[in-house]
Structure 1
Amino acid sequence: MLNKKFILIFIVFFSFQFKQFAFSLKKEPIKISFYDSFAPFSYKENGQTKGIFIDIAQLILHDMMGYEVQIDSFPWGRAQDLVKKAEFDSHITAKTTEREKFLLFPNTEIISSNVALVYSKESKKIKEILKINKKDELNNYKMVGYIGDGWAKEQFHDDKDVKFFRTANLVDVLKMVDDNSADIYVSSNEKADKYLAKKHAFKNLRFKSIYFLKPASVHFYFCLRKEFPESEKIMNEFEKNLIRVKKSGKISRIIHKYY
């Protein structure tokens, strides 16, 4: 009798697992294109893409929703071009008007971060820099940014408000400010930049939260190509699961793995 019950339970369990597996095979893989120099959120190390955003994407899309998730990371400008060309499907990034033209964004962000002014403690202009409280005052300084920073592009109206030099990646930006090759950098993710400053031993860098740019914080979202099959359904399900894992504390635990 016990053997029959055991066999019945095994058959039911196996049937359920097989159905789940078969269902997952019908789903198109979601290819996510990350920024390769945005530690601890996304970065490439020894050829492998890692970080907070990667762990969260795998948790929700793969573990909870049953999708195969294909991940790679690139310089940020190229990463975005790959999604525009539909060679990849998704990012985790800040919402901009330009990105909303071809990407779906949920209402719930994954993380938020303060906007900060980054400068060197060795700068000869430090007293003046600390007094900056208007956007147009940034033009009095040599400001640097990186290629693909859509938030800065929108914030400064495609460089019409503030002129600045762009480098290939964020690490180069921080290095230039650290060694006084540039005066300032306006950061959309203070947490990531502080992490990178510590990792690369940029000991001169200082961070000041600023509130004269609106909004004074930047939200980062999972986003998906509008043309991806069942994109709206996927986005709705992703958001429901994101809210669940936030409430459960799993997001916080993932973040604490890296800090």
Structure 2
Amino acid sequence: MTNSLLARLAILAILLPAMFHFTGPALADTSIRLVFAESLAPLSFDHNGETRGILVDVATDIFERELGLAVEVGTYPWERAQQMVRRGEADGFITVSTAERRAYADCGTLPVLRAPLHPLLRRGHKSLAAIEAAGNLEDLRRYSFISYFGNGWAKENLARAGFDVFFADDYASHLKGLALGRGDIALVTPTSGGYYLKELGLAEDLIMLPLVLDTFEYVLCLGKTSPHRNRLGDFESVLGRKRNDGGYVAVLEYYGLQPSTPY
């Protein structure tokens, strides 16, 4: 983890309680269990045994401070985290809404965060010019892709659409694999993609193209068997107010993102 992010976390630990005003009731006896992808900074990650990240902090603030519902959070391999919600072992997660996830969870429509999806490839790739000239995902069908287990967008839009795609064990592994020649293209956002390019020392080996192929919208999804399923609307009501009045811009800034990122 970079020193700049560690410094922000130290400051955030002090200032986070003051960033939001308490408007909800006292914490209820019951709690909601949310699961997140491990090692997906700055969205979710473990820091000194504590689960942190933009998605974690925003969810905890809204449910606990605004809605009076205690939150239990944990990070897991992303595929496992999703299976926990599917089996009813956890209440929900914040991620991109896909058809597969909507089959076992109710997903919101108001994003906690938006992030554009860009092609990433090795510098000096023999087809760099042709890939740069692409206008959409279909124009890239003849190339091979690398993604990671649990990436529902890649499963739905690449694998099931007939693209040649290999799934690595986790987010960091798929970037390392691309740098080593496993596949032509990875699809990443400037948030986690930009972070791990620096963290893994791959910023000089891989290049992120300006072409935007889609936009990830990270929304709350609550399992259809969760006893807290009916709190989705409450969450989005508070989220909408905070988005409009800049109520969590400070969180984004401390994790190194510009305030305009989610809007």
Length-normalised TM-score, structure 1: 0.83
Q: Which amino acid aligns with 1:67?
A: L
1:164 is paired with a residue whose SS is: strand
State the identity as a percent: 26
- What is the CA RMSD across the aligned residues, in angstroms? 1.8
Residues 256, 86 of structure 1: alpha-carbon distance in 2 compared, 3 angstrom cutoff = same
Alignment match, 1:130: 132
Q: How many angstroms does 1:68 deviate by?
A: 1.0
Aligned residue pairs: how many?
231
Contact 2:46–2:75 (CA under 8 A) maintained in structure 1:
yes
Contact 1:142–1:164 (CA under 8 A) maintained in structure 2:
yes
Distance in structure 2 (CA, Å) of the matches to 1:133 and 1:47: 43
2:126 is paired with a residue whose SS is: coil
The C-alpha deviation readout for 1:149-186, integer Å capped at 9, x for no partner, is 11111112x43420111101111111122333332112
Alignment match, 2:191: 191
Distance in structure 2 (CA, Å) of the matches to 1:238 and 1:145: 31
Distance in structure 1 (CA, Å) of the matches to 2:247 and 2:105: 26
Q: Which runs of 5+ in 2 are unaligned?
A: 1-24, 257-263
Distance in structure 1 (CA, Å) of the matches to 2:180 and 2:164: 20
Q: How many angstroms does 1:198 deviate by?
A: 1.2
Alignment match, 1:223: 221
The C-alpha deviation readout for 1:119-148, integer Å capped at 9, x for no partner, is 121323322322333534434333101011
| Equivalent in 14, 29, 41 of residue 39 of structure 1 | 41
Structure 1 residue 245 corresponds to structure 2 residue 253: no
Q: How many angstroms does 1:221 deviate by?
A: 0.3
Within a 5 Å distance, the mapping from 1:50-89 to structure 2 comes to 50-89=52-91
Alignment match, 2:10: none
Alignment match, 2:21: none
Contact 1:58–1:69 (CA under 8 A) maintained in structure 2:
yes
Contact 2:146–2:182 (CA under 8 A) maintained in structure 1:
no
1:217 is paired with a residue whose SS is: strand
Alignment match, 1:9: none
Contact 2:34–2:74 (CA under 8 A) maintained in structure 1:
yes
| Equivalent in 102, 105, 114 of residue 103 of structure 1 | 105
Structure possessing the higher radius of gyration over alpha carbons: 1
2:85 is paired with a residue whose SS is: helix
The C-alpha deviation readout for 1:219-253, integer Å capped at 9, x for no partner, is 11011112222522x11111111011112212221
1:115 is paired with a residue whose SS is: strand
Alignment match, 2:254: 257
Alignment match, 1:147: 149
Length-normalised TM-score, structure 2: 0.81
Alignment match, 1:120: 122
Distance in structure 1 (CA, Å) of the matches to 2:129 and 2:170: 28
1:82 is paired with a residue whose SS is: helix
Contact 1:136–1:162 (CA under 8 A) maintained in structure 2:
no
Distance in structure 2 (CA, Å) of the matches to 1:230 and 1:87: 13
Contact 2:222–2:228 (CA under 8 A) maintained in structure 1:
no
Distance in structure 2 (CA, Å) of the matches to 1:238 and 1:89: 14
Q: Which amino acid aligns with 2:168?
A: T
Q: Which amino acid aligns with 2:197?
A: A
After superposing the two structures, state which structure 1 stretch, 235-244 or 158-167, moved more.
158-167
Contact 1:136–1:161 (CA under 8 A) maintained in structure 2:
no
Distance in structure 2 (CA, Å) of the matches to 1:82 and 1:229: 15
Within a 5 Å distance, the mapping from 1:151-190 to structure 2 comes to 151-156=153-158, 158-187=159-188, 189-190=189-190
The C-alpha deviation readout for 1:75-98, integer Å capped at 9, x for no partner, is 111110111111111100001111
Higher helix share: 1
Distance in structure 2 (CA, Å) of the matches to 1:230 and 1:123: 49
Q: Which amino acid aligns with 1:142?
A: S
